[in-house]
A and B are shown apart, each in its own frame.
Chain A
């Protein structure tokens, strides 16, 4: 059974700082790994999807990496802004529809 863990659970940084969010998963037989953003009381916004054959994906100030062999993914946020404050979730897809989510990292960027 896939288990997805995210560290840290919460993170507070000053504006402008670069930061790294960590995600680990127990079953390396994944199809892809996806990073989502969730604002309080809101739905999930997909940020980046890394296919199992890929090592990283970039979108603007976000860069996500994937190391299947070690069961790890990281989300790098450059030059953080107050608007980046949200909970970030990683989710591993083991193929055929079932996605396993991590517990999330709650990020606060202080102006």
Chain B
């Protein structure tokens, strides 16, 4: 069964460094998402992306964050200058039919980011 993959599974970085989290969505999907989950807290929506542009973003997704689809298969989340509070599990998701009742977003296994 097709699945969303994410790399790396774990990343440790120093505060102020840039990180890029990578995702390979399901191949025929056109809509992509990033979520994050701080330890012990809810999964939170960050951003959605379609047709090479951001469709919607949350208040969390500030200027330190950016997303890109650099080629036909990858979808990346970049954090420009990491802060301690960026430590979280980051989930990528994709779907093929957003905005209709039977839309299902398929989630990747996540990247655990630790900022020291």
Q: Which residues of A contact B (CB under 8 A)?
A: 31-32, 34, 36, 41-46, 49, 51-53, 89, 91, 93, 95-104
Contact = CB atoms under 8 A, between A and B. Distances in A.
Given A95-B99, A96-B56, A96-B98, A101 B104 contact: no
Nearest to A91: B43
A42 to B, nearest CB: 6
A46 B93 CA distance: 12
B108 A102 contact: no
Contacts, number: 66
A98 B44 CA distance: 10
B65 interface: no
A44 B112 contact: no
Nearest to A50: B101
Contacts of A103: 41-42
B42 A101 contact: yes
Contacts of A93: 103, 105
13 contacts: A31-B99, A31-B100, A32-B103, A43-B110, A44-B43, A46-B106, A96-B98, A97-B56, A98-B45, A101-B43, A101-B44, A103-B41, A104-B42
Contact of B42 (A41, A97, A102): A102
